[in-house]
């Protein structure tokens, strides 16, 4: 007799997996243990398909074998009956009715939320989120300064001065939080101009982030074998160095994407397609502040005004011969327009921050699929192209190679080139210390 516990006795040929009873069909060639393992694999792959669909492709042969094993077994409960087609159709009809009722209820709630939409309260909510994030960052920074974890070799006088400055900033941000909290109330109960609450918007940002992650993983997996083939096919040392750098960056980005655990809508930012825990001011572990926050939006608008001024100025001097510089590559052709979204500016700003190790950066709109290519100039360190954006890193004085840390920084910047930027900018350091300004070379 087969038993599944000390209190239950099963007929010969009947097995229990703890929830259901099974028996092998006639002429079955597999064991009960194989059946259990096959069902576990089948369930695991299908549950993970939503977040990691490539696993179904990687283990297609195992999945096919699991299905063959499962077909050799059937349910063994005495009263078990399979549902008829009529019963299945009725169940699906109930699902449709439930879905329609939920949709009508959400639409009714949205219309009610529209009546209480307050632009000032919505703006205060965004400002409150920004102030809370800055406050948490400052509190963490001052704690690490006091303990000596941050900058352990800093002189005590300088450390005390830094602590005083941070305490002043903490008091200022804490006062802002206390001022905004009664105005906002519950941040999760503030509707936007469409009547949607933050929890409603998180569903949209969650699915956008999921699709973007899946697309990036598939593209990187398709490109890496091509890079490996190019690396094996060339003997030129400089070209091999560029290909290795490009391969390492893409491997780093792929590993980072694959390491993202299964997320839910509640884990997302309600105002952009980024996990909420990735918003912050230090990377790692954070990526960047939310571009919808007032402070970040003000920086974006100021930068757009500056770039628009440059565009109009250069348009009026388009007939003048381009000014040549001994330390810069020839000026690049003029482009039609400047960035038009917070995502575009975030990409541009991230590239500026990356310039501590590079002297010239070009960000230009480009057509074509997601790919990376080495820079054409002999001074070029690397040229990355993602979607319709390319970024070219050059050194004007000497040839150099990217170190491991700089590769990681460059990979972080490249990972954000997801918008269709139509911008061309040349950035040069004004001194060795890293101060930067926009090069005013007129476009030819």
430 and 346 in a common domain? yes
The boundaries of the domain holding residue 246 are 231-260+291-438
Is there a single domain that holds both residue 362 and residue 237? yes
Residues 421, 296 share a domain: yes
Report the number of distinct structural domains present in the chain.
3
Pair (27, 159) in one structural domain: no
**For residue 100, is it within any domain?**
no
Alpha helix positions (H), 9-118: 32-48, 54-58, 60-70, 85-115
Q: Does a structural domain hold residue 82? A: no
List the structure tokens of 39: 């069902």
Residue 443 lies in a domain: no
Say whether both 42 and 123 belong to one domain.
no
Q: Could you tell me the two tokens for 133?
A: 């994030």
Whether residue 84 is contained in a domain is answered as no
182, two tokens:
């009664």
Question: Residue 226 domain-assigned?
Answer: no
Nearest to 162 by CA among 133, 140, 136, 142: 142
Q: How far is it, in rounded angstroms, from Cα 409 to Cα 353?
A: 9
Measured CA to CA, the distance from residue 193 to residue 113 in angstroms comes to 9
Both 244 and 388 in one domain: the answer is yes
**Residue 81 belongs to some domain of the structure:** no
Residues 243 and 371 placed together within one structural domain of the fold? yes
Q: Do residues 182 and 247 share a domain?
A: no
Please give the chain's pLDDT, 444 residues, in tens.
Answer: 444 444 466 788 899 988 899 999 988 999 999 999 999 999 999 999 999 999 999 999 999 999 999 999 999 998 898 899 999 999 999 999 999 999 999 999 999 999 999 999 999 999 999 999 999 999 999 999 999 888 889 999 999 999 999 999 999 999 999 999 999 999 999 999 999 999 999 999 999 999 999 999 999 999 999 999 999 999 999 999 999 999 999 999 999 999 999 999 999 999 999 999 999 888 778 888 999 999 999 988 888 888 888 888 877 665 556 555 444 444 433 333 334 444 444 454 454 444 433 333 444 433 333 333 333 333 333 444 433 444 444 443 333 444 444 545 455 554 444 333 333 333 333 333 333 333 333 333
Q: Token pair 């002189």 is at which residue? A: 155
Domain presence at residue 376: yes
Boundary of a domain, candidates 195, 214, 247: 195
- 40 and 173 assigned to the same domain: no
Q: Which residues contact 247 (CB under 8 A, 6 or more apart)?
A: 224, 227, 228, 231
Do 398 and 327 reside in the same domain of the chain?
Answer: yes
Q: Do 235 and 331 fall within a single domain?
A: yes
Token pair listed for 374: 């080495």
- Measuring CA to CA, how many Å separate 348 from each of 283, 300, 366, 417, 423? 16, 10, 15, 9, 9
Residue ending a domain, among 75, 92, 108, is 75
Whether 363 contacts 347, CB under 8 Å: yes
Asked, for residue 266, whether it belongs to a domain, the answer is no
Together in a domain, 414 and 313? yes
pLDDT in tens, 379-435: 333 444 433 444 444 443 333 444 444 545 455 554 444 333 333 333 333 333 333
């Amino acid at each position: 007799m087969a038993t599944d516990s000390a209190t239950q006795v099963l007929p010969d040929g009947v097995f229990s997996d703890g929830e259901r009873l099974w028996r092998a069909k006639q002429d079955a060639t597999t064991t009960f243990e194989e059946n259990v393992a096959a069902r576990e694999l089948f369930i695991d792959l299908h549950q993970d398909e939503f977040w990691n669909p490539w696993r179904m492709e990687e283990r297609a042969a195992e999945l096919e074998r699991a299905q063959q094993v499962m077909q050799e077994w059937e349910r063994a409960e005495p009263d078990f009956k399979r549902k008829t087609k009529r019963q299945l159709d009725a169940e699906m009809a109930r699902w449709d009715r439930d879905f329609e009722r939920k949709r009508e209820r959400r639409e009714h709630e949205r219309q009610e939320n529209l009546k209480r939409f307050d632009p000032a309260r919505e703006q205060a909510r965004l400002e409150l989120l920004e102030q809370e994030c800055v406050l948490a960052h400052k509190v963490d920074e001052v704690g690490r300064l006091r303990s000596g974890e941050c900058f352990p070799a800093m002189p005590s006088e300088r450390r005390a001065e830094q602590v005083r400055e941070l305490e002043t900033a903490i008091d200022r941000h804490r006062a802002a939080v206390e001022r905004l909290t009664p105005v906002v109330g519950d941040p999760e109960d503030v509707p936007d101009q469409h009547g949607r609450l933050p929890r409603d918007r998180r569903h949209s940002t969650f699915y956008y982030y999921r699709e973007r992650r899946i697309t990036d993983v598939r593209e990187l997996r398709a490109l890496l074998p091509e890079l490996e083939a190019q690396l094996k096919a060339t003997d030129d040392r400089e070209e091999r160095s560029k290909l290795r750098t490009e391969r390492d960056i893409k491997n780093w980005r792929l590993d980072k994407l694959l390491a993202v655990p299964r997320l839910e809508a509640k884990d997302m930012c309600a105002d952009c397609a980024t996990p909420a825990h990735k918003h912050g001011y230090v990377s790692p572990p954070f990526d960047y502040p939310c571009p919808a926050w007032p402070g970040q939006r003000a920086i974006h608008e100021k930068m757009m005004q500056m770039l628009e001024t440059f565009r109009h100025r250069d348009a009026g001097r388009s007939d003048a011969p381009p000014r040549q510089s001994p330390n810069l590559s020839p000026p690049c052709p003029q482009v039609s327009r400047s960035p038009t979204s917070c995502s575009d500016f975030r990409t541009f700003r991230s590239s500026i921050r990356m310039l501590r190790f590079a002297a010239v950066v070009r960000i230009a709109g480009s057509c074509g699929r997601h790919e990376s290519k080495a820079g054409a100039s002999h001074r070029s360190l690397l040229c990355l192209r993602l979607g319709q954006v390319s970024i070219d890193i050059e050194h004007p004085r000497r040839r150099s190679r990217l170190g491991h840390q700089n590769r990681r920084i460059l990979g972080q910047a490249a990972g954000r080139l997801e918008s269709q930027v139509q911008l061309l900018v040349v950035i040069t350091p004004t001194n060795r210390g890293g101060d930067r300004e926009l090069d005013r070379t007129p476009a030819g």
